[in-house]
Amino acid sequence: MGTISELGDHRIIGLTGNIACGKSTVLAHLAALGAGVLDADRVTRQLQMQGGPAYTRMVAAFGAGILQPDGEIDRKALGNHVFSDPAALHQLEALVRPLVRDEMLRQMAALPQPIVVIDAIGLLDGPLADWCREIWVVTCPPEQQIARLVATRGFTEAEARLRVQAQRPQAEKVARATRIFANAGTVADLLAQVDAAWSATKADL
């Protein structure tokens, strides 16, 4: 694992929150404001593609039932399996997280921006949090999470609820937050909160 001394002069902010709370919207806005950004889910997808370092491990652990006809991993089928089985979810995280951590450290070293934001839904469950000077948490009501998953990702309500209920309670993330962004209103409301946090962070450099 990387240590703070190995991360150069970057000021690292951890961005987290539960599924469909709006982290991707916040991350995209921070990138537009000038932050260097790293998306743990995007890195995970890259590592899980055929030929990637996580692919063989995952197929060996969970079988061909998690594959699409083209041989790529079917993330929806995998999610339906692991989110209904805590032991399987723990196994998946143990397989993938070290690979994601190492790849994010490699990518971070190449970023020129002084402020880097790491977007990771499981930020507080592993060593990525140790890199961060601040923890920013995006929240929204659970029923709103479910509605967004159904509307934007094609899940049934039961599939969406399974994913929401399988995650760390939002209150636990809020308890460790340096800043909290409440996303129960409009996108404009959310981005106004992000703008204020970004201005304060730049002023503190």
Q: What is the rounded radius of gyration, in angstroms, for the C-alpha atoms of the chain?
A: 17
Number of structural domains, the chain?
1
* pTM score: 0.89
pLDDT per position as a tens digit, 107-163: 998 999 999 999 999 899 888 899 999 999 999 999 999 999 999 999 999 999 999
Contacts of 30 (CB under 8 A, 6+ apart): 15, 37, 117, 194, 198
pLDDT (0 to 100) of residue 22 = 96
| Across 173-199, average pLDDT | 97
Q: Spell out the SS3 assignment of 146-168.
A: HHHHHHHHCCCHHHHHHHHHHCC
Give the chain's mean pLDDT. Answer: 93
Separation CA 50–CA 13 (nearest Å):
31
Range of the domain at 97: 4-203
What is the domain-level CATH number for residue 66?
3.40.50.300
| Across 73-81, average pLDDT | 94
Q: Are strands 134-139 and 115-119 parallel, antiparallel or unpaired?
A: unpaired
Separation CA 1–CA 190 (nearest Å):
33
pLDDT (0 to 100) of residue 197 = 98
